[in-house]
Structure 1
């Protein structure tokens, strides 16, 4: 009987819940979009300056999205998956 109980306890034990993984994927998407927006703007010729590297998208928007994504990741890690929300009670 003890062996059966141990098998039930060790079955499907995850550190994070479904809600945690959902927020992690959302955070990862924010980070990926931020880095994609940050890319580009360089010049093939080192003697030619391209002012596009200082655009709003690369200087403000993309780093903001990356930081928001990291914030969502921290929230996803700290979120308690076993806590019931008020709507679930």
Structure 2
């Protein structure tokens, strides 16, 4: 097995968080295409969602690179 159960749970949580961030970034559609909508430049779309995405990708990299703790029985064998 590549990862243990705990890492798979963290991976699932991170993927759900990424999905949420991309949904926050997309937002609702424009009701009147010929008029300018100022909601495209909202805090949620410009700041919050990209910060969540960057933080989640960084945590995924750290999660993948983290070495598992060695068990006592494995240390005694060496």
Question: TM-score w.r.t. structure 1 length?
Answer: 0.67
Report the structure number with the largest CA radius of gyration: 1
Q: CA RMSD in A?
A: 1.6
Aligned pairs (5 A) from 1:31-50: 31-50=18-37
Higher helix share: 2
Q: Quick one: which of 53, 57, 61 aligns to 1:66?
A: 53
The C-alpha deviation readout for 1:43-89, integer Å capped at 9, x for no partner, is: 243321100000000000011111111112112211223x15xxxxx
Unaligned runs of 5+ in 1: 1-13, 85-89
Q: Which runs of 4+ in 1 moved over 2 A?
A: none
Unaligned runs of 5+ in 2: 71-78
